Structure 1
Amino acid sequence: MTMHFSPDVASPFIDSQSRLDAFVANQAFDRPTLVIDLDRVATQYRALKAGLGRADIHYAVKANPARQIIGRLVDLGAHFDAASRAEIALCLDEGAEPSEISFGNTIKRASDIAWAYDQGIRLFAADAEQELEKIAAHAPGSSVYIRLIVAHSEADWPLSRKFGCDREMALTLLDRAKALGLHPVGFSFHVGSQTRQAAMWAPTLDIFADIWSEARAAGHDLTLLNIGGGFPAFYGEEIEAPTAYAAAVIEMVEARFPNLDKIMAEPGRGMVAESGVIVAEVLLVSRKSADDMHRWVYLDIGRFSGLAETEGEAIRYQLQTARDADPMGPCVVAGPSCDSADVLYEKRPMSLPVTLQAGDRVLIRNTGAYTSTYSSVCFNGFPPLDVVVI
């Protein structure tokens, strides 16, 4: 982790209630930087845990793998959903027990399965016969859960098609897992990232409750349900408070799934997004013609340097400047790279101060999730997104 800032620089972004804002207000950053407040991560963990009750929180490491975040969550008693060998190693290095880690990616290299097994990992995800065969060969006797496909999602960022399998395939895979000497313990699914209201879970839970009952009737002693992620963060549209949201989801789960010994939840965005702010800079404000109704505002960060989730304008980050008391006008917002796809918001232009100019600081709010991990290594020579953890 590199840090590029100097102290004692005046800034208009002082909020006496916010340690994060107070820190940012007194730093100068010479390139786009994500600042994470660990106390906010801890607060969100406790809020989600209060609602989730007996469910184990398996933090989705991919959302933000900052070592300090993992270490703090280990201290708080969190478990972890890891997508790769590197993520498993990170969790183990920070003190997580192997029994607290699930290898939740359904697409795994055989050698990584074997390595994870050697480290003590015994819980794996699968959604295909070949994946079960790899697990049986390299992690014999392990427990597996079968990921179900979510065909219809109300989430802002649906996760259908690539992951999961349908009802018939899931039941077949339970049989196949048994035949391979594995222990099929349950199902997993993901309602879609940024599912803003708990009520949006109900249709998916209804469908999967039927599959659960069918599997148990077929003789499978299922005891685990992994409800995945979907827990939302605030991006300008109303969401429910984390404890109430989580409690409502668990209430629906408990009502539909009998014989559950273990419930897993995998918040990623909902755990860390609101703990972070990106400090960016305006590079250019221009128009394409004299009568152009929209200004173009180019930032020093774009889709290739951390803001990949602006794809399709699915996630609309909140931008704050020192000029927000001035008159506002519609803007197309774009990144700095020499790639025409590096446009953040154009279909729905963003309202920004008419006085905005090159050199102005811009804070991009609630960017603690899926930014540093999406940042490219050096596209166009621009450095990766810096991360500072306080």
Structure 2
Amino acid sequence: MTMNATVPGALRAATPIFADPAADYIAAHDFDRPTLVVSRAVVADAYDALKAGLGKARIHYAVKANPAAEIIHTLVQKGSGFDCASRGEIELCLGQGARPENLSFGNTIKRASDIAFAHEAGVTLFAADSDAELHKIAANAPGARVYLRVIVENSMADWPLSRKFGCAPVALPALMDLAASLGLVVYGLSFHVGSQTRRAEFWHPVLDQMAGLWHAARAAGHDLQLLNLGGGFPAFYGEAVQTKRSYAAAVMEAVAERFGDVPDVMAEPGRGLVAEAGHIAAEVMLVSRKSDADMHRWVYLDIGRFSGLAETEGEAIRYQFATPHDGGATGPCVLAGPSCDSADILYERAPIQLPLALRDGDKVMIRNCGAYTSSYSSVGFNGFPPLDVIVL
């Protein structure tokens, strides 16, 4: 992305002091459409840091965060397991060399035929949160190991995820008994503390809830082996977060205090592994005001909610931006995408500060977009191209 003589340096000055290959690549190249650039080296470093903090816990990368084949291959080489939500993700991981015993079918909503496919491929670990799903698993993957996902309360995550998935805690004992009666192995419990849980101590109320369920289940005779911590490991979006290693170590310390010596602990980081490895090269399409009296400028980018920035829903994830005019005077903006859909507004409730000198045609870099952008991008809503991806 060649801007002007000062821009590459300005972009580098705005990036962290450690190596940032994706930012360097964007500063040195031109792009004719929105493009995500991701560094495999940064993903590998993030894996090493999380693994060091998690200790004995096994990492199962949440493939949905970024399913680029190059990233999957890199993580296979690092020894990662994978949390797969569909047959397509299972096929992707197997195609990149992952062993089926290192995959879990973590979606609690699965086609019967996809369960049978996974079972035939050698996958033995499945998630469930209802009696209907347990019956499907028993019929199509007899004898499989299952972990039951539970709804948790008191999430302090930026994006709580406890409405769609999980059984009510009160329903858990009956589901475990049913699974056992169907010939399935009641292997463990899982939960999700919520996406972008910025501080490790935010896990404590949720772990307290799960510990009570865990110990009650074991007392009832279920030989639980697996505690699946799910995701929630954060990335940097402008608010301070702990280093990956110290964050993971603090979570594991809290787990040990509440659960004791759990035989098998699994974590499913997605955002925490890939978000900071990638940035998006984008362009300003228009800067305008609705009237002379309008306090806020409207800044329209060539990428919006339908072409990769879906996590701006509810302004939950607030991305940071590097521009050719950084260091100059700024003012509040409403930020929007290019499509002819009035829902394609990124930030309005809390306007974003951008340089007053920003104009149409200016190139911008959206930071830390390696997670949940390319995988959310549409096939071409309104005729705008889907997000290109370059993996370094």
Q: Could you state the TM-score of these two structures normalised by the residue count of structure 2?
A: 0.96
Asked if 1:12 corresponds to 2:7, the answer is yes
Shift of 1:23: 1.3
- What residue in structure 2 maps to residue 63 of structure 1? 65
Quote the Cα distance in structure 2 between the aligned partners of 1:110 and 1:96.
Answer: 23
Q: Which residue of 2 aligns with 1:345?
A: 347
Helix, strand or coil at the partner of 1:165: coil
Q: Which moves more between the two structures, 11-20 or 209-218?
A: 11-20
Q: What CA distance in whole angstroms lies between the structure 2 residues aligned with 1:11 and 1:377?
A: 35
Please give the alpha-carbon distance, in whole angstroms, between the structure 1 residues aligned to 2:265 and 2:251. 12
Q: What letter matches 2:363 in structure 1?
A: R
Opposite residue 12 of structure 1, the aligned amino acid is: V
Counterpart pick for 1:317 among 316, 319, 322: 319
Give the 5 Å matches for 1:333-372: 333-372=335-374
In the alignment, the residues of structure 1 paired with residue 20 and residue 165 of structure 2 have an alpha-carbon distance, to the nearest angstrom, of: 39
1:225 corresponds to: 227
Task: Report percent identity of matched pairs.
Answer: 63
Q: Given the alignment, which residue of 142, 145, 155 partners 2:144? A: 142
Q: Distance in 2 between matches of 1:24 and 1:168?
A: 51
Change (3 A) 1:169 1:11: farther
Structure 2 CA distance for aligned equivalents of residues 8 and 252 of structure 1: 48
Cα 1:129–1:47 change in 2 (3 A) is: same
The match for 1:261 is 263
Letter in 1 for 2:305: R
Aligned counterpart, 2:54: 52
Q: Is the 8 A contact 1:9 1:26 kept in 2?
A: no
Q: Which of 168, 171, 185 is 1:169 aligned to?
A: 171
Partner of 2:206: 204
- Cα distance in 2 for partners of 1:169, 1:376 equals 37
Do 2:46 and 2:273's aligned partners in 1 also have CA atoms closer than 8 Å? Answer: yes
Q: Cα RMSD over matched residues?
A: 1.4
Output the CA distance in 2 between the equivalents of 1:166 and 1:141: 25
- 1:225 positional shift: 0.3
Corresponding residue to 1:382 among 356, 366, 384: 384
In 1, Cα distance between equivalents of 2:91 and 2:26: 31
Cα displacement string for residues 272-299 of structure 1 (whole angstroms, at most 9, x for unaligned residues): 0000000000000000001111000000
Q: 2:75 maps to which residue?
A: 73
* Cα distance between partner residues in 2 of 1:63 and 1:370: 5
8 Å CA contact 2:3, 2:363 repeated in 1: no
Which of the residues 16, 21, 25 maps onto 1:23? 25
Q: Secondary structure, in 3 states, of the residue corresponding to 2:280?
A: strand
Per-residue deviation, 1:11: 6.7
Equivalent position SS for 2:30 = strand
| CA apart distance, 1:326 | 1.5
Contact 1:9 1:27 in 2 (8 A): no
Match of 2:252 among 250, 253, 257: 250
What is the distance in 2 between the residues matched to 1:9 and 1:268?
A: 35
The CA deviation string for residues 13-51 of structure 1, in whole angstroms up to 9 with x for no partner, is 343943222211111000000000110000000000000
| Distance of aligned partners of 1:190 and 1:49 in 2 relative to their CA distance in 1, 3 Å threshold | same
Shift, 1:9, TM fit: 8.8
CA contact (8 A) 1:105 1:125 kept: yes
Equivalent AA in structure 1 for residue 387 of structure 2: L
1:10/1:172 Cα in 2 relative to 1: closer, same or farther (>3 Å)?
A: farther
Alignment correspondent of 1:160: 162
Normalization by structure 1: what TM-score?
A: 0.97
Aligned-pair distance for 1:170? 1.1
Task: For residues 100-143 of structure 1, give each alpha carbon's deviation from its aligned partner in whole angstroms, at most 9, with x where no partner exists.
Answer: 00000000000000000010000000000000000000000000
Q: Contact 1:44/1:242 (CA < 8 Å) preserved in 2?
A: yes
User: For the Cα contact (< 8 Å) 2:309–2:377, is it kept in 1?
Assistant: yes
Q: Deviations over 1:208-243 (max 9, x none)?
A: 111111101111001110000000000001111100
Cα distance in structure 2, aligned partners of 1:55 and 1:11 = 46
Residues 154 and 254 (structure 1), Cα distance of their counterparts in 2 relative to 1, 3 Å cut:
same
Report the secondary structure of 1:28's partner residue: coil
Asked if the contact 2:57/2:265 (under 8 Å) is kept, the reply is yes
For the Cα contact (< 8 Å) 2:115–2:141, is it kept in 1? yes
Is the alpha carbon distance of 1:10 and 1:115 closer, same or farther for their aligned partners in structure 2, counting shifts above 3 Å? farther
The answer to whether the 8 Å contact 2:298/2:335 transfers is: yes
- 1:123 counterpart residue number: 125
Match of 2:193 in 1: 191
Pairing 1:213–2:215 present: yes
Question: Contact 1:9–1:25 at 8 Å: present in 2 too?
Answer: no
Q: CA deviation at 1:152?
A: 2.2
The whole-number CA distance in structure 1 between the counterparts of 2:20 and 2:181 is 55
Which of 264, 270, 294 matches 1:292? 294
Change (3 A) 1:117 1:168: same
Deviation at 1:8, TM superposition (A): 11
Please tell me whether the aligned partners of residues 13 and 21 of structure 1 are also in contact (alpha carbons under 8 angstroms): no
SS at 1:29's partner residue? Answer: coil
- Residue 109 of structure 1 corresponds to 111
Within the alignment, does 1:275 sit opposite 2:277 as a pair? yes
> Quick check: 2:152–2:209 contact (8 Å CA) kept in 1?
no
